Each structure stands twice: as structure tokens, then as C-alpha cells.
Structure 1
Amino acid sequence: MVSRTVFFVIILISECGRIFAYKRKFPNNFSFGAATASYQIEGGWNASDKSENIWDDLTHNTNLVVDKTNGDVACNSYNLYKRDVEMLTELGVDFYRFSLSWSRILPTGFSEKISDDGLKYYNAIIDNLLEANVTPIVTIYHWDLPKSLQDLGGWTNPLMADYFADFSNVVFEAFGDRVKTWLTFNEPLVFCQQGYGGMGKAPALNLTGVGEYLSAHTVLKAHAKVYHLYDENFRPAQKGRISMTISGQWYEPDTDSPEDLEAALVAEQFDVGWFGHPIFSKEGDYPNAMKERIMKRSEEQGYTKSRLPEFTAEEIEYIKGTYDFLGLNHYTTYSVKANGETNFVEPSFEHDRGVKVFQEATWPSSASSWLKVVPWGFTKMLKWIRSNYANPEVMVFENGFSDNGTTDDQDRINYHRLYLNAMLDAVDSGCNITAYTVWSLMDNMEWLRGYTELFGLYRVDFNDTERKRTPKSSAFYYRDVIKDRAVEHVKNKDDDDFDISLLL
């Protein structure tokens, strides 16, 4: 195969054991962006007729956030969105991925009351972006469910699929004449596993082994319902595209033993496969590894049927193929090995998965305990998607690095340099990747970590009532990458060129 990466400007610089040999060009059709989420940046939590969402409720009524902060003001993008657009033009991005606050648009959670001010706010953002020649990419749901709907069971309630379709219908009608790329959900695995199965995200129900599967089942049906709604009622006139963004971390087998290879396959299926297989695979439905393991554990624990709900044959067909591209968020890699334990008395996601997952002490760290810098895992993740899902178009919608908010953020620059190279390695191998998005445009409210872990290209002064934004070194670096459509080549010596076929 002839490489699709063009090389130029031979340089030869050694840094930290890596060799910068030349710059690598991105494909001609490649686009760059930056991302945010409504709760994390907007503030204005009770502005106009906006109602409470589950993150308002959690931050106001629990002590789960480590620094006892909230998103009541956050970056104040509710009032400062014009500055946000200005920052995007400074970077020179092709697109801006942002999300809609359901409770700002539908104060009751239902579509019988639509907020004029909510629509006005998002219309202003979209219009300002288009005037600045920045394409809006809109996430319909990024974790901030109206509290009124959570009181009815949230995503464990099957009727939520209908409520979500009603909300989506409103936003398609309001914004679809200008928005041409839609994402139904952001990382449903995270809010289902950590929010319903655990305590790591709102609504923090801690219903492990049951709650995550019930909520995920509804989310998958909701996604398919909205895909078909758009496909049938809006696509002919609006001519846009729609999909879901899934989270996908790489799981590296600890050894090349058959047991560890099997453990890595299981871990990947419980991660990417949980939402990827029903939508993007040829067969549809949940991965066999999930169905078999959860059924086995359920029987051992005395359940009369699997804790993983079953799709009907009609539902499998209805969900399968509901995508125009695959949205992927990737940050890091884990090592995985077989778990010799057999006595899983209590139901839980971890017991169902039944493997040992960890990270190597030698991998470089970030401000987030879970985020290690392992760029070669990104390449392998993208190759795995290519091999398992017939090489779909992949748009990377989140990739980023956390620190303490320093403006001279050389570690963030190095992270993006390494991961951009890893992504181009996947492109060179034949992966169909068309977009890359930095998380995040600016420092923001990092969920239960509050303002202790910061991902932004722009520093936000949260002690300043004006929430002053200041570009970091990484902002200038990313601007140059976008301007040149190229990145310095880095060969990471840790890449062992693992044979991906072993996990297929």
C-alpha cells in the first residue's frame, strides 16, 4: 500500500528519546475542531426559564464533587459565547462541537413547552459560528438530563426513548437548516456505567450490575429512534448526517498467553463493543462476550434471566446500521489480564467483565489518575474499529490531556503531537479517519473532579467574575498544526507493532 501521508521539511531533532524526522501531512479531506459540553461551560444554570438538570441537582445536594464546586457559572459561556467563537477563529478550526442543554430548551423536559430564550441562545451560537466560517457540530445529549425526567426513572425508563425523540424533533426543526452534523449521545457507556451503575457521574444511583444495562438498553433504542426520525423526516430537506459518539480505550493484553488475549478481547467488547456492536457491526445486537458472561453470572447469582436485557429480532435490525459515521472519543490505554477468580456473588459490571484491568507505572501521567499517555494504543484502537466494523468513516470527537491549568502546557503539546502521529499511523494503515477534535476548547467544570483537572487549550480564570480566557502554549501549537495541515513526525519507541489480528 502506498502511504497517504505526504512528508516534507526534513528536520532531525531529538527530544526525550523520540526522533522528529519530518512533518506529516493530513489527508486533503481532513478537518480539525475543538469541543465542549453544555453543563461544563455554560453556567446560567437558572437563567430565564431553564429548569434543573441532574448535574445541578447533584452539585447542589451532594458532596461528591472533590472541590465542592458546581457549574452554576462555570465558564459563563451563556453570556460569553461570542468570545468562545472568537477563540475558535484564533485557532483556525474547521468546526466546533458543542452540546445542547435539554432543560434550557424544554424546561419541563417535555416538548409541550419550548423556551424562546433557550432557542435564542443556541441560534445565536450557531449564527455566530457560521459568520466566522466555523461549522457547528451539535451533540443532542451530553449527560445533563432534566431532573424532572430523572424523577421518572431517567434512562432506565423505556419511555425515555420517546421523550428523547420529542426533544430531538424540536432541535432538528429549530436548528437543522444550519446544523448538518448531529450526534445523538456522547459516550453513553460513561453515563450509564458510572451514573446508573456507579457513583462517578450524575445521577449517581450506584445500581451496579443492573442499572447500567437497563439505561444502556434504553439509550440504544433512543438513538435508533432519533436516527430514523432524522433519516425519514429531516434528511431529505436538511441533507445532514447523524450518528453517536462512543468512548473507546485500548486494552493491551498483559502477555501473549491465550488467557490474556481472551481477556483483552472481552474488555474491548465490554467497552467499545457494548454500544459499537449493536450499531456498527454487520450482525448487530450486543457482543457475544457480554451476552454469555452476563447470562452465566446471572444464573450463578440466582436470577431467572440475564441482567442484560434482550433485544427482539426486530429491535436488532432497527438499531443496526443507524450511523453515517462513527464518532470516537479516545484518551488512554489499559493493560488487561485474565482473572482467575470464579466466585462472583454480587452482581456488578466488573464481575460480569471478569478481567483484571490496570495501567503500567512506567506510562507517563496526567493530572487525571486514569489518563496515561500511551499513543500507540490509539493506533491499535483505530485498527480494531477498522477490522471489526468494516472500516467506517471515523470522526475523532474527543482527545485531550489534563493538567493543573498552567499556560505553558508543554505536556499537553507533547500529548497531542504523539496522538496525532498515532492517528496518522492508523490512516497510513488504511483507516478511514476524517476529523480530529481537541478536548477541550477551554478549561471547564470537569464533572466530579470540579476544577482540579483542566483540559483546555485556553486557560479560564475562575476567580475572575469576567472569566477571562487566555490562550495556552497548546493553543498556539494547535493553531499551527491546523494552519500547516501537518504535524512533526514522532516515532514512539514503545510501539511494539502488536499484531491486531490476535484480537479479532
Structure 2
Amino acid sequence: MAKKPAKNANEWAISDREVTRKDFPPDFIFGAASSAYQVEGAAKEGNRGASIWDAFSHTEGNIVDGSNGDIAVDQYHRYKEDIELLSMLGFKAYRFSISWSRIFPDGLGTKVNDEGITYYNNVIDALLEKGIQPWVTLYHWDLPLHLHESMGGWLNKEIVKYFTIYAETCFENFGDRVKNWMTINEPLQSVVNGYCIGIFAPGRSENPSTDTYLAAHHQLLAHASAASLYITKYKEKQGGQIGLGLDCEWAEAWSDKPEDVSAAARRLDFQLGWFLDPIYYGDYPEVMRKKLGARLPQFSEEDKNLLRNSLDYIGLNHYTSRYIAHSTESPDGHEFYQTQEVERIAEWEGDQAIGGKGGSFWLYIVPWGIRKTLNYIAQKYNNPPVYVTENGVADEEKRSAQLHEMLDDKLRVNYFKDYIAQVAQAIRDGTDVRGYFAWSLLDNFEWCLGYAQRFGLIFVDYDNQLSRHPKSSAYWFMNFLKGDKGNNGKEE
């Protein structure tokens, strides 16, 4: 196969100058993001029930560094301190998730946990006092353990009912102040890694050819049920909006050969189309039906009616891109990629790569990929409102490094500059992008990688009482949001 030359980064550059806040509309939202299991801790406080991630992280061998989220970065007790940091940096929004098992410890919806309601009321009120909009995700992977053990969790259609009860409880208790909701975060990642590869909770890989698609089907129906309830019963009186959070790495065709162009399109269908086509077009993508046959569940007419118009916006989580080539023997080795008949290519002989390397093994820095992804959504789905709900890059944990070395995160500063510039370009292209959230506010528990990866704008010292220290990237955002880029990301 002929090698494809690396894309010239300047081909997609906004201009020769650095991006500024003025490149975005005045009402464009900038925020930072996190999720409950990754930051809250207090796993056994406040009458919280266990989640699948509690069980998974406490099983030997599942987490790279042997850690868990029992304490995480202790935001449960330190939320006021973290909200002060958000305010200092100039962010006007904070995207966080609610832990289902803090609201219903067994997940079933039989008895509301008042301590959980009180905690999230306190967080929401503290944000609003600082002029920061709460953006609430209802499900960020931490399914109540009881639902998994008693009924199979996402493999059982009954879970749609329980998720809807949980969602309505949140709308009733928080919707007078929360105006921006997301039902489910990255269903693709939770089902592929949780039910196919087995590296995420609940750690299943026994039946990847069916369980992966069944779990995704039920998450999609759970989204539709909760979102439809919100839109019909709460939206008008509460004045909010609701969306779905999807992840997508851009798929650039490896060559101009028809089979590679088709493979890249297929790859996008297996990421975004999997969840958006049923909402916008009434069924899964045709190529998924063709490749998967009877393994892909069917939608009833009732399902299709629920799915139709079940979102006000799309949340896009985007980090990286790949070249995609057609291949009947995917080197990724997992059933999910074998079915797609694609090869994901990041680097090859001769030191050529699609982009610079981030701190994570999977993350290559390809700023033009986010612009292409946003424009693709606009073109395929009639230009819906989109918020970039996650975007960021990791550093590896280096225990031997000095604090000042970890705080001087030049790689992250440049990543945000370049990716945000491409978001601005997508807006100039006519794409309806309305907000951007940096992942993440704090260094935190990075799922199966534990604390070995640091995505935060704020350094968390795990060896010194979880003290917080803003990195250069935090100061870059502060200057960017306040219109002062004179110190290039350094503190005045």
C-alpha cells in the first residue's frame, strides 16, 4: 500500500495569528468538564450506592496502577474550592455528571436519597452564585451496581424504565436551575470497552458480537425516553435544552482509492451514525445493517417515534483523528473493528504521522480533524446546534518530575490554541457550533488507566492532600477568556 503523506497543518489554519475570544460569537459558551466517578470520591458517604465502576476498579488487574475512585480528587468535599478555580479562570459553564447511585442507591427509583439531592443542589447553587452555568450529564458510565447484578444492566430493556425514573427525578429537583442537560455520555465508549473489549466496567467480553449492540440499543432508547419526557413535560416550563454526548475521532481516507474512501465513511457511520441516524433518519446506518445483520436490534414504531426529534443539540467529544484504510484483517484485533473492515492508521515507517503525539497512547494531535468532524455533522444532519463537550490532551504521570515541570504544560497550551482555532474556522464555515468545554478541569481518575494520565488544567498533587495548582494551560484559558494573550499562558 502506498503511504499517504501527512496533512500539512497549515492547510486548515485559521490564520497566521493566534486565536482570540473575539473569533467567537459573544454568546458562545466556554466551560470545563468532569464526571462524577472521576472526581467526586466519597464512595461510601452520603448514602451513595455502589456503581459498576466501584466493583470493576476494586477487581485486581483491571486498573493499570491498581487504583480506584474511592477518593478520586475529593470534589465531593472540595466542590467550593473547585468552583472558585472555575470562576478565577473565567469559565462561564461547568459540565459535570450526577451519580445515579447517589440519587437512587439501588438504581431502581423506589426511594430517593435526600443526601444526594442535597449535595447536587449545593453544587448547582454554588455554581450559580459565581455566574457559572451548570451543564448536567445524567449518565457518565457509573451504572448502579444493583441494576447490573440483578437484571443485567444495559443488556436488559427494563433499564430504560429505570433510567427514565432517575432522569425525571433530576428534572424535578434541579430543572428550575439547570437549563442544559445531557442524557448519556459517549455510549460508544461504554459499550465497546465495557461489553466487547472488556477494559471498562462492567468488564464483559464473552459475547461481543451481540452484547455490544444490545447495550448500545438500550442506551439509545434510554436517551430517547428521558429526552422525550423532558421535551414534552419540562422544557417549556423550565426553559432548558437536552442533548446526547457522542465521541468521534475524525476518519480521513488513507488514499483516494474507492475502497479507502468507503472505509472512512463506514468508520464514521460506526461512530456517529450508530447513534444519530436513528434520531434523524429512523434507523441505524445501512452499512451497519449490512455488516451486522440480525446482530443489530430492530426499532419498533414506538421506538422510532420516541427517537424522532429527541434532542435539542449534539454534544461532540473529540480528541484525535486517524487515517482509515479498507482492511479485511484489522490489526486492532477486536470484533468491533473487524466487523467494520477498517484499519486505523496513525503512524508508519519513516517518522511520518498523522499528527504530534499526546501523552496518551491513542491520542495524536490533529487539529484539523475537529473542523472536519464538525462540518461533517452539519452536512449530514442538517446543521444542528453542536457543543464541543470534551476536548483535551493528557500528560503522563511522572512521579520523579518537579512540580514546576508538571505545571509548565506547553503541549496542552498549544493543543488548545490549535483545536480552538479550528472550532472558530468551523463556525466561519457555517457550522452551528455554540460552545466548547475543555477536558478536564482537574487531573482525575482516568478509568482503566487510573491516575497514570493527567488531562487537567489544574494539577492535583496526589501525594500532598490533593492540593490544586493551576497549570500554564489554565492561565492560557484565563487570558484567552479575558481577552489578554500577552503572557502566552504564564501567570502575571
TM-score w.r.t. the length of structure 1 is: 0.88
Once the two structures are overlaid, the 10-residue window that deviates more, 307-316 or 249-258, is 307-316
CA contact (8 A) 2:476 2:485 kept: no
Query: What is the CA distance between 1:18 and its match in structure 2?
Result: 11
Correspondence for 1:327: 315
Distance (whole Å) between structure 1 residues aligned to residue 222 and residue 441 of structure 2 = 29
Structural mapping, 1:125-204, within 5 Å: 125-151=123-149, 152-204=151-203
Report if aligned partners of 1:201, 1:447 keep a CA contact under 8 Å in 2: yes
Secondary structure of residue in 2 paired with 1:169: helix
* Counterpart check, 1:309 vs 2:297: yes
Match of 2:431 in 1: 431
1:477 alignment partner in structure 2: 476
Provide, for residues 297-331 of structure 1, a one-character-per-residue CA deviation record: whole Å limited to 9, x for no partner.
xxxxxxxxx11111123322321221111111000
| C-alpha distance in 2 between matches for 1:18 and 1:373 | 16
Instruction: Give 2:291's aligned residue.
Output: 293
Letter in 1 for 2:467: K
1:446 is matched with which residue?
Answer: 446
Per the TM alignment, residue 20 of structure 1 is displaced from its structure 2 partner at its CA by: 3.9
Counterpart residue type for residue 378 of structure 1: I
Give the secondary structure class of the aligned counterpart of 1:34.
strand
CA distance in 2, matches of 1:74, 1:340: 41
Q: Give the share of equivalent positions with the same residue, in percent.
A: 40
- Of 397, 401, 407 in structure 1, the residue corresponding to residue 393 of structure 2 is 401
Q: Deviations over 1:137-158 (max 9, x none)?
A: 0000000001000111111110
Match of 1:83 among 81, 102, 113: 81
CA distance in 1: counterparts of 2:241 and 2:485, whole angstroms: 27
- Distance in 2 separating the partners of 1:120 and 1:469: 25
Q: Indicate conservation of the 8 Å contact 1:382/1:431, yes or no.
A: yes
| 1:353-502 equivalence runs, <5 A | 353-361=340-348, 362=353, 363-404=355-396, 406-465=406-465, 467-484=466-483
Contact kept, 8 Å, 2:121 with 2:174, in 1: the verdict is yes
SS of 1:61's partner is coil
Q: CA deviation at 1:267?
A: 0.5
1:267 equivalent in structure 2 = 267
> Within 2, Cα distance between the matches of 1:19 and 1:286?
39
CA RMSD of aligned residues (A): 2.1
Distance, in Å, in 2 between the alignment partners of 1:170 and 1:242 is 15
Report the CA distance between 1:486 and its aligned residue: 8.7
- Helix, strand or coil at the partner of 1:271: helix
Deviation at 1:487, TM superposition (A): 11
Measured in 1, the distance between the counterparts of 2:171 and 2:197 equals 32
Aligned partner letter, 2:345: F
Shift of 1:340: 4.1
Distance 1:247 1:284 in 2: 20
Deviates more, 1:307-316 or 1:79-88: 307-316
TM score, norm. by length of structure 2: 0.90
| Equivalent AA in structure 2 for residue 34 of structure 1 | A
- Which residue in the other structure is 1:218 paired with? 218
Deviation string for 1:119-162 (max 9, x for gaps)?
Answer: 11111100000000000000000000010001111111100000
| Aligned CA distance change for structure 1 residues 451 and 341 (closer, same or farther; 3 Å) | closer
Please state how far the C-alpha of 1:37 moved relative to its aligned partner.
0.2
Q: Structure 2 CA distance, aligned partners of 1:358 and 1:382?
A: 21
Question: Is residue 74 of structure 1 aligned with residue 72 of structure 2?
Answer: yes
Q: Secondary structure at the match of 1:484?
A: coil
| 1:209/1:347 contact within 8 Å kept | no
* 1:349 aligns to 2:336 (yes or no): yes
Q: Measure the CA separation in 1 of the matches of 2:17 and 2:40.
A: 42
Q: For this pair of structures, how many residues does the alignment match?
A: 458
Equivalent of 2:58, from 57, 60, 67?
60
Matches within 5 A, 1:13-52: 20-21=16-17, 23-24=19-20, 25-52=23-50
- Contact 2:329/2:338 (8 A) holds in 1: no
**Aligned position for 1:495:** none
Letter in 1 for 2:266: V
Following superposition, the deviation at residue 26 of structure 1 comes to 1.1
> Aligned in 2, Cα 1:238/1:71: closer, same or farther, shift over 3 Å?
same
Tell me, which stretches of 5 or more residues in structure 1 are unaligned? Answer: 1-13, 296-305, 489-504
Contact kept in structure 2, 1:335 and 1:360, CA below 8 Å: no
Deviations 1:411-435 (A, max 9, x none): 0000001101111111111111010
Q: Does 1:336 align with 2:328?
A: no
Residue 62 of structure 1 aligns to a residue whose secondary structure is coil
Task: Say if 1:382 and 1:426, in contact at 8 Å, map to a contact too.
Answer: yes
> Which residue pairs with 1:303 in the alignment?
none
Distance 1:484 1:233, change over 3 A: same
Letter in 2 for 1:371: L
Cα displacement (A) at 1:284: 2.3
Evaluate the alpha carbon distance shift between residue 434 and residue 208 of structure 1 in structure 2; reply closer, same or farther with a 3 A threshold: same
Equivalent residues of 2:185, 2:245 under 8 A apart:
yes
Q: CA deviation at 1:341?
A: 4.9
1:284 has 2:276 as partner: no
Distance 2:18 2:322 in 1: 30
Shift of the 294–482 alpha-carbon distance from structure 1 to 2, 3 Å rule, reads same
SS at match of 2:357: coil
SS at match of 1:210: helix
Give deviations 1:316-360, integer Å, cap 9, x for gaps.
232122111111100000111111459xxx992222211111212
- Contact conserved, 1:481 with 1:487, CA < 8 A, in 2? no
Higher mean Cα deviation, 443-452 or 226-235? 226-235
Provide the secondary structure at the position in 2 that maps to 1:209: helix
